[in-house]
Structure 1
Amino acid sequence: MQAVDHELASVEPRHVVTLAFSVGNDSERAQELEPRLQLPPGWRAVTPDLPFTLAPGETTVRFVSFVVPDGAPAADHAVRYLVRNRLQPELFAEHTVSIRVKAMRCLEVAPLDLADAVISGQPYRAVFVVRNAGNAAVTVDFRARSSLGHPVAPAEGRLELAPRESRELALDVRTEALPRLGFDQISLNVGDGTELSAQASRAVKLLPVGGGGESLYRTIAGQARLIYLAQDRDGEIKTGWQTELSGAGAIDEAGERHVAFLLRGPDARHAATFGRWDEYRFEYTSKGLAVGVGDLAYGLSPLTEYGRYGRGVQASYTSGAWDFGLYEMGDRFTDTGNRQLGARASRALSASSRLGLNYLAKSGERTANIYSLQAIEQRAGLSAEAELAASEGDDAGNAFRTYVYGATGDLRYSGTALYAEPGFAGYYRDQAFVSASGDYSLAQGWGMRATAFWQRTNLDRVVSRPALEESRLALGVALPDALGINLSADLFLRRKRDLRPNRDVDLVHPGFRVNGSYSRGHWGLAASGEFGATEDRVRDRRYATSLGLLSMYWRPSERQSYSLYLIRDDNTYSTIRQAVGSTAGVSAGVQLWQRARLNLNVQRSVAENANRFVTLGFEQTLRGGQIVSLFVRSTSGKFSRQTDAELSLTLPFGIPVARRPDLAPLRGRLLDAETGAGLAGVTLSLDGAIVMTDADGFFRYDAAKIGRRFLTLAGTGAAGKVPLRPLPLETEIRADGDNYVELRFVQPGMMKGRVQRYESAAEMPSQAYRDNGDDALTGGVGVAGALVTLTSGELKYRRLTDADGRFRIDGLPPGRWLVSVDERTLPPGGRYQAEQLQFVQDVRSGAETLVDFKLRPKTRRLKMLPLSSHAVPPTSTAATGIGVNRAAAERT
């Protein structure tokens, strides 16, 4: 398998990308193949993965289209296309293309205020900040969503932002009660429908009510699937069943040891197209050690064994700079008896370089021993490797391979060179190829790219099979955006010829291609037109070729997405001229209701082997995490009609693997102190784990962490009652003790009062007062904004007085409270003081406690001093006498 034309590509978010891969069948048997496009998380495919068949020696070109999402990070992303033989899954090929997402962010979005954990079933608020980081005013649309499908309000809207302006956006999310710990990711996408976009998200832990959120046993996530299969092929009906049990997770507290297993059977490949082969495997990994047994994918190195699937055992061990690996595997789905014994050892020479030796012993149809020396360099901006190999036995020969990928600033490049002699017994055999690709981004939106490829097979030109030589050269340029359209153009030259004297193929194909993509708001499209001419030198004729591609998507909301693709190929990649082929397809994805989604794909091909595909998928996730799914695919052609169906039920569960020594149960009861009755429906929190009391007021934590823990209320209270003991309550949880807590609740008390200031009845011009209790006070005036604080142990309440100086504090547990007013919040200037700045008051259950603060004038005492011989002249006494007396008073 190879990528057609460029190995590297650059694209902006929200645009559609179309890639082409050449897939060839070098075997002597027809192969029924299943493709799979592996995209980075969040990327969406436009074209579906539909099966196809290759005849012996046939080569085809497969086109795939996908959408780069709005929030894709500006970085290099790997897009992998894998094709596997459905009946012989050990046979597969894959190819990876590097996609660089350009940095286009002019907006900034970040979470501002969001709780780390909330009780499931209760609403929570998420506050984000949206910032216009540009220098021009913008109007942007926003869309918010919950990863669990919880309702969000507002779900969408519009913001107008001035340059450098920031705006807070509050989102209210209504959650459902969950039976176990869950996570909800709230995300916010903001954009103006063009290149201006930003995205941010934050995960919230959803705490279950009941069980305390912990388990006495460490568990790993598992799931059981029950699958029913059916097929109708030209009236012949087949049915079958499959069951699947799988799980994976850490088995220790540190998370260093992991296990994974899969048990699936029986083999149902012949019952329906959706039927899978039976598969049984167990894998264990820890720090430095990995062991697997059963049906596994395995490999050694690119030249020895690049990748295969079979049954056996494999292990690897890392210690310091050394790394070792060993496997013994065999093919399952053939009767050839092929088996492999592989071993490797490598040592790190530095932080970025490693040197290794590989050994592979093959037995079965042919016997061979393969040895290779491999060097690897991995550091920031550079990945390179080189390998030399030799084989002996039934097949003897040598091979060499080198690979490099680098990125320096705006330049990216990759290159591969390979030579494998006809007698070499490794993964590559009897071929040579060289490929090189480069992608360079210039200023003002310009860019350049180039790809060169050369490959030769059947190096000895054995006359019984083709000795093909293929080469292609492509030069491209990316143009600056025009009206929001991304444009690029490529010139290319391809040649394919048979080097035998009696050649079957000799084609020369020059041409050019124009590519364009456009995205705005909730929709986008990509189009590509290729025009060329093929010169058939064997048949001495020349004919024009063309290829047209169109991909579109429309996503009007988070609940709906639609796509369309059209392909028209007039002999662009064919070796023999044939009828024009065209393919058209549409797909739709609709969320019918909460956690229920329907997907539909319809494809029609018009060619020599015309066919039609219709795929319907439905998936419903239940509240407990169970999944019910139905997939139906109908295929019809000129000579046959086939319909396949799969109905499955997936049940998630936890698999206990070890007793946790740091946990113990905690139980208790909440009571009404006056009646002795239990308080039902009260939610409690123990270090974030939530439980609710039953009808008699009892609660239980199945597994609480041993040690000193704090128990408190998690909700709004207990039917208007308050605990006699202050919360949070510190309790000691012991591994071998009776961990029991009893909390008594009573009707709360209330305290209210007023902060007032008073003026003296007589006032002297000097503002000096004699206050010995004889002076009368005028009516009090309320002091607004005074801070009143109530303290009892660790409990503390604060209130600001209203415009009349009044305050009120409800829900106080009975007991002795210290009530005080903060002098710093009294009227400025220090003119008034409180008769008493603090009081000790007893609050009784269900009673009202009154307290008043009376701010009285501050007393200032003056001392009259006789005039000395150095007194000021009489002319100035009247003007300064008061000032002198004030100064003297202040000194005393």
Structure 2
Amino acid sequence: MGTSSPFIVPVITSGSLEITGSGKNVYITPLKIASETPQGRYSVILKGTEKTTGEKFLRHTQFTVSSKRQIVLIALSTPEFVKAGETISSTFLLKNNGNVTENLVLESKNAVIDRSTTLILQGGEEKIITVMKNTHKDLGKNEFQNVNLSVYNANNPKEIYNAYSSIKVIAVNPVEDDIFHRLPVAASVSFISMQNRGEYRDGFQGEIYSRGSIDKEHKHLLEFRAVTKNPTEFNSFTPYEEYFVNYKQNNFFVHLGDKNYSSSFLTEYARYGRGAEIRMDTKKVSIGGFYNHPRFFRDIKDEFNVYSKYKIAKESEITAGYLYKIPRRENTGVSFSTFRLDSDAHLPYVMGKFKLTKNIEVSGEVSYSKTDKTTGNAMMAQTIFNFSKISGNMMYMRTSPEYAGYFNNTGTFNGNLQYQVFKKVSIMVNYVQDAKNFQRDTLFLAAPYRKYLQYGIQYRYSKKGSLILYNGFQRYEDRLMPKEFDYKEQFFRLSLDQQLGIFQVNLQGQFGKTDNYLLGFSGNSSFYTVNISFEKFRTSFNLYGSYAVTSRYQMPNQKQIYYGARILSRFSDKTNFSIFYQNNYMPEEYFADRNLFELLFHQQIFPGHEFDLSGRYTLQRGELGNKDFIFSMRYTLRLNVPTQKKAEYTSLHGNISNLGVKKVEGIRLMLGNHLSVTDEHGNFVFKNVVSGEYVLEIDRSTTNINDIASVNIPASIHLTDKENTFNFGLTEAAMIHGTIDYSETGHSGFIRLPVEKRKKRTLLWKYQMENTLTGKWQFWEKHLILRICGPANGK
């Protein structure tokens, strides 16, 4: 009995069979087919001899071995740990258990493969793949790092085989954890001087601020701030006097002091004052309220608010509340609304937010107000939608003439829409209409009244460039008296954004026809603007220039030139510098404080100590031409105040026993950044160590060259706040000589190699014994013969 391939072996190689005259019989020949047998057609050959006559015969039977694909990828060996800065080397076994030749691609996302990344593997063939990964020597803590290997067929990249190995990386210079949980606190003192409308003032201002958790579980959050009175007139560039503290814990929040208190969009959108706020949350319901004494609005003396919020779903909720306002009787001060409270005001309100679908969200509010003489109402509705090609939002608000909330006697509609026609082309529409009457704080001036519609198309012609064309109209009206501008303008605008190397360039041109309601004439208005920004040498540069010929203000065809620049340089992580200049601002920006020249310098002197210097020429809010100067010098001290002890100091005791070495005295041991030296009996101790995980190492320069530990050293040790002990011994290394005689298998009858092809190898090892009593080896289908010659010292 025989076959046409050495990979196919008959189980029964010989036998006998008796057949009667004209008889038939079936002779079954079981075959053993190796898994790596290539696909194809094979023959079974039956040779026979008739015992009586000696006549010989030969029969062939063909059969087909079909294809079989099976890749095996396993982690073979990997070190238990490496020191930070060393290279991790892991080996993986890759074997083709199928009978089809595989064209394989090797990949590793976080390491380097030591061979070509393509490999052709025959059926039954196996390879050992080594993957290496560098570790960072400045690692602060011990950590586990993964090394991975991915294998897939070049013709079938979706069928991926993965294997991983995890290795512990030991920090050479570990950073010890602080045993205290600390709260960051910044305390500063500033010297501020200001030339304000011809009058000079200066003085000091102090500030202390902190925000963070006061416990190691981060469940209790605390924030506080105290800023003393500003020695000069308040402006946007110096802090205003403020004192507050707030505390938050899971489902509880309380605030005491100054803040912008807000009940709802319609009733009290933002009112800065001094008071208190409290809120309690459960899974579905929130209850809260506040008391506020406004500091920059003379119409209201005190106000109280309570509310309850119910969460319907994850992103849907409804809120019902009540706001009570107590007016000041004198009613003095600047206001942007002619409405005044004649008595205490009651304002119940209901608002809700609902996630209708994955792409659509709606929200709204209704409110009612009542005083002794008036009643009013208000409503607001808003929707936000976001689909793959179209997105936008719309908001409508209306209030009655005698509504006693934040807005009154006004209506407004705002919205924007963006539709992506093609991949590079999109259409945009934007409409804004400001509310005319609102109860704004007098701390700042209000922006001009705006009403504008613009629509346009954007074409992104490349990854680094786009072109936008706009058309529309805009209406701007000064809210203060006497008015500086009041106009309506039809315009067409072109905007080009392009990145050229390191330069980001923006060019704009606007052409319009202006109806000047302030002086009663019409004219043309055109603007040409360029912005160039780039970054080089850790410094960012931004250059701006604009030329305008307008009919918006005091005369037709009025020429205006605006230009400026900002340079921000980060010399290092501790030093940065900024300089800004702009020659003037458009009249529409009068409501804000505006820098004409600004110089800022920040320096960290050493950790926790910072110095800031600033100087500014400014146009204060409401000013059009009179410049003022502000100088500030600030020193900041940053502290980490301990609030809770999160760990305990502990100690490690141990002994090094003598297992045949010359001495165990004077051996230096290292535990992270801690050192200890053994006494004459091998005892050592580490004191005042923070609980945690460490690695114990031996300074090899303090032991003999052949001395080795009875356990794996370096050793990973986890120290608790209880008693910690670690003992081990020192012994001498040994030499092992041996011969390995092996065959591919210990079983007979299946692809056995001829005796003359068996291999013999002689090995000489210097074996560093990890355990003086036992040495362990593992072999797969191989036979081992060792001759142990004895220890290295001849004993």
Query: 2:679 matched to 1:699?
Result: no
Alpha-carbon distance, 1:377 to partner: 1.0
Equivalent of 1:603 in 581, 588, 591? 581
Query: 2:222 matched to 1:260?
Result: yes
Equivalent of 1:651 in 614, 638, 662? 638
Residue of structure 1 in register with 2:452 after alignment? 472
Alpha-carbon distance, 1:443 to partner: 1.5
User: 1:562-615 deviations in whole A, cap 9, x for unaligned?
Assistant: 32233445448769769544433333333324x223221221224699973122
Q: Which runs of 5+ in 2 are unaligned?
A: 1-80, 90-116, 118-130, 144-167, 329-340, 439-445, 588-593, 620-624, 658-662, 679-683, 744-751
Residue of structure 1 in register with 2:187 after alignment? 225
Deviates more, 1:442-451 or 1:717-726: 717-726
1:174-189 equivalences in 2 (<5 Å): 175=138
Residue of structure 2 in register with 1:712 after alignment? 695
Residue of structure 1 in register with 2:36 after alignment? none
Contact 1:211 1:703 in 2 (8 A): no
Contact 1:751 1:849 in 2 (8 A): no
How far apart in 2 are the matches of 1:291 and 1:519?
A: 49
Query: 2:509 matched to 1:529?
Result: yes
Alpha-carbon distance, 1:458 to partner: 6.2
User: 1:152-197 deviations in whole A, cap 9, x for unaligned?
Assistant: xxxxxxxxx9xxxxxx99898674979xx99xxxxxxxxxxxxxxx
Deviates more, 1:647-656 or 1:563-572: 563-572
Alpha-carbon distance, 1:488 to partner: 1.0
How far apart in 2 are the matches of 1:849 and 1:446?
A: 86
2:775 counterpart letter in structure 1: L
Residue of structure 1 in register with 2:353 after alignment? 376
1:825-836 equivalences in 2 (<5 Å): 833-836=783-786
Alpha-carbon distance, 1:327 to partner: 0.8
Equivalent of 2:311 in 330, 339, 348? 348
1:712 counterpart letter in structure 2: V
Residue of structure 1 in register with 2:245 after alignment? 282
1:383-398 equivalences in 2 (<5 Å): 383-393=361-371, 396-398=375-377
Could you say if the C-alpha distance between residues 733 and 458 of structure 1 is closer, same or farther in structure 2, counting changes exceeding 3 Å?
A: closer
CA RMSD of aligned residues (A): 4.9
How far apart in 2 are the matches of 1:376 and 1:484?
A: 39
Residue of structure 2 in register with 1:306 after alignment? 269
How far apart in 2 are the matches of 1:458 and 1:359?
A: 22
Deviates more, 1:542-551 or 1:715-724: 715-724
Contact 2:617 2:628 in 1 (8 A): yes
Could you say if the C-alpha distance between residues 439 and 282 of structure 1 is closer, same or farther in structure 2, counting changes exceeding 3 Å?
A: same
Alpha-carbon distance, 1:834 to partner: 2.5
How far apart in 2 are the matches of 1:169 and 1:603?
A: 54
Residue of structure 2 in register with 1:44 after alignment? none
How far apart in 2 are the matches of 1:748 and 1:364?
A: 92
1:97-136 equivalences in 2 (<5 Å): none
Residue of structure 2 in register with 1:679 after alignment? 668
Could you say if the C-alpha distance between residues 758 and 391 of structure 1 is closer, same or farther in structure 2, counting changes exceeding 3 Å?
A: closer
SS of the residue 2:775 aligns to: strand
1:676 counterpart letter in structure 2: E
Residue of structure 1 in register with 2:27 after alignment? none
Equivalent of 2:596 in 612, 619, 642? 612
Q: Normalization by structure 2: what TM-score?
A: 0.63
Residue of structure 1 in register with 2:489 after alignment? 509
Contact 1:344 1:358 in 2 (8 A): yes
How far apart in 1 are the matches of 2:388 and 2:648?
A: 56
Contact 1:422 1:429 in 2 (8 A): yes
User: 1:736-772 deviations in whole A, cap 9, x for unaligned?
Assistant: x5x243556747736565655599xxxxxx99889xx
How far apart in 2 are the matches of 1:497 and 1:205?
A: 67
Contact 1:402 1:416 in 2 (8 A): yes
Alpha-carbon distance, 1:492 to partner: 0.8
Equivalent of 2:615 in 630, 633, 641? 633
Residue of structure 2 in register with 1:451 after alignment? 430
Contact 2:696 2:715 in 1 (8 A): no
Query: 2:406 matched to 1:427?
Result: yes
How far apart in 1 are the matches of 2:449 and 2:209?
A: 48
Contact 1:224 1:652 in 2 (8 A): yes
Contact 2:139 2:174 in 1 (8 A): no
Could you say if the C-alpha distance between residues 327 and 747 of structure 1 is closer, same or farther in structure 2, counting changes exceeding 3 Å?
A: farther
Q: Percent identity?
A: 12
Could you say if the C-alpha distance between residues 741 and 711 of structure 1 is closer, same or farther in structure 2, counting changes exceeding 3 Å?
A: farther
Contact 2:652 2:685 in 1 (8 A): yes
Contact 1:330 1:340 in 2 (8 A): yes
How far apart in 2 are the matches of 1:270 and 1:613?
A: 19
2:213 counterpart letter in structure 1: G
1:374 counterpart letter in structure 2: M
SS of the residue 1:818 aligns to: coil
SS of the residue 2:383 aligns to: strand
1:376 counterpart letter in structure 2: K
How far apart in 1 are the matches of 2:415 and 2:324?
A: 32
**Of the two, which has the highest radius of gyration?**
2
Contact 1:587 1:599 in 2 (8 A): no
Contact 2:742 2:759 in 1 (8 A): yes
Equivalent of 1:548 in 522, 528, 544? 528
Alpha-carbon distance, 1:417 to partner: 0.6
2:633 counterpart letter in structure 1: E
Alpha-carbon distance, 1:250 to partner: 5.4
Contact 1:669 1:678 in 2 (8 A): no
Alpha-carbon distance, 1:210 to partner: 7.5
How far apart in 1 are the matches of 2:571 and 2:255?
A: 41
Contact 1:583 1:603 in 2 (8 A): no
User: 1:371-394 deviations in whole A, cap 9, x for unaligned?
Assistant: 112121136323321111111126
Alpha-carbon distance, 1:434 to partner: 1.1
Contact 1:585 1:601 in 2 (8 A): no
2:638 counterpart letter in structure 1: L
Contact 1:724 1:743 in 2 (8 A): no
Contact 1:313 1:328 in 2 (8 A): yes
Alpha-carbon distance, 1:424 to partner: 1.5
Residue of structure 1 in register with 2:470 after alignment? 490
Q: Normalization by structure 1: what TM-score?
A: 0.57
Residue of structure 2 in register with 1:186 after alignment? none
User: 1:425-479 deviations in whole A, cap 9, x for unaligned?
Assistant: 21222221112210011224111011233456369xxxxxx9x986422110012
How far apart in 2 are the matches of 1:324 and 1:711?
A: 48
Deviates more, 1:641-650 or 1:264-273: 264-273
SS of the residue 1:667 aligns to: strand
2:457 counterpart letter in structure 1: V
How far apart in 1 are the matches of 2:239 and 2:388?
A: 45
SS of the residue 1:329 aligns to: strand
Alpha-carbon distance, 1:497 to partner: 7.5
Could you say if the C-alpha distance between residues 245 and 537 of structure 1 is closer, same or farther in structure 2, counting changes exceeding 3 Å?
A: closer
Contact 2:139 2:171 in 1 (8 A): no
Give aligned pairs, total. 591
